[in-house]
Amino acid sequence: MKIAIMQPYLFPYLGYFQLLAAADKFVMLDDVHFINKGWINRNRILINGHSTMFTLPLDQASQNKLIKDIQVKQDKRWVSKFLKSIEMSYKKAPYFKGVFPLIQTAIEREVVGISDMVYYSLLEINKYLKIETEIVPHSGSYDTKGLQGQDRIIEICSLCGASDYINPIGGLELYDRAKFEERNINLSFLSPVLDPYPQHSDVFIAGLSIIDVLMQNSPEQVNLFLKNYNLLNAK
């Protein structure tokens, strides 16, 4: 079984979904500390041809709290403004009619925690793209208390019965292949490839939210994008 583990990100970029789709099980690491100005509750979309950040408002977010304990601020005005921005920016996009309801369902869902909102949004996108990867929130599923860093990742893999662990390329220097091999786990790193596609901008802007990718490409084309990455074995 191939396992990938990542913090919950709201409408993340294509590379996040390449990692998710490459695994049989995707563990959403929601019981680590929140990161201010990270990607947990924000990302970028294209507005008037320019990359523009959106940020879901949270209630008393702090790096002293775990992600699973951070609540979404119940701000209907923000939700309305966000959806209006999406509509105005992408209403002429070829796949707007199929994608906008998906975003609306995810963002209007009555949830308390940011991790819950991310979880349900990932499920909606998986369903739309027919990705079969199982998504499992770490909290409530696995007991790894007292473990940190690499030791915690290895323990999660073992509890899942993993034969392979796939990590984003950014963690290349963080892990020791020998430690994984001691538990009969193959360690590899995914380096995303972000293929250009038509956008309403003068030049292609890579790495925008999956929202932009879905609006401009068919599910079949997105699935081709998901398979276009480089997988490197740990040295």
Phi, psi values for residue 226, rounded to 5°: -65, -25
| Range in 5-19, 105-119, 201-215 the model is least confident about | 105-119
Taking the C-alpha atoms of residue 181 and residue 117, their distance in angstroms, rounded to an integer, is 35
- Read off the pLDDT band of 70 (50, 70, 90): very high
Mean pLDDT to the nearest integer, 193-218: 95
| Mean pLDDT, residues 74-88 taken together | 95
Say what the pLDDT of residue 2 is. 97
pLDDT above 70: percentage of residues in the chain: 100
What angle in degrees, to the nearest 10, is found between the helix axes of 96-108 and 76-90?
A: 170
Query: Distance between CA 43 and CA 9 in Å, rounded?
Result: 9
Provide φ and ψ at 92, rounded to 5°: -95, 0
Phi-psi region of 60 (alpha: psi -120 to 50; beta: other; left: phi over 0): left
Q: How many independent structural domains does the chain possess?
A: 1
- The whole-chain average pLDDT of the chain stands at 94
Q: What is the pTM of this model?
A: 0.95
Question: Is 235 a residue whose pLDDT tops 70?
Answer: no
Expressed as residue numbers, the domain containing 133 is 2-233
pLDDT digits (tens, 9 = 90+) for 92-138: 999 999 999 999 999 998 878 999 999 999 999 999 999 999 999 98
Q: Report, as an integer, the average pLDDT of 178-189.
A: 93
- Lowest mean per-residue pLDDT among 133-137, 175-179, 191-195, 207-211: 175-179
Mean local confidence (pLDDT), 153-171: 92
pLDDT of residue 101: 96
Whether the per-residue pLDDT at 233 is higher than 90: the answer is no
Which pLDDT does position 108 carry in this prediction? Answer: 92
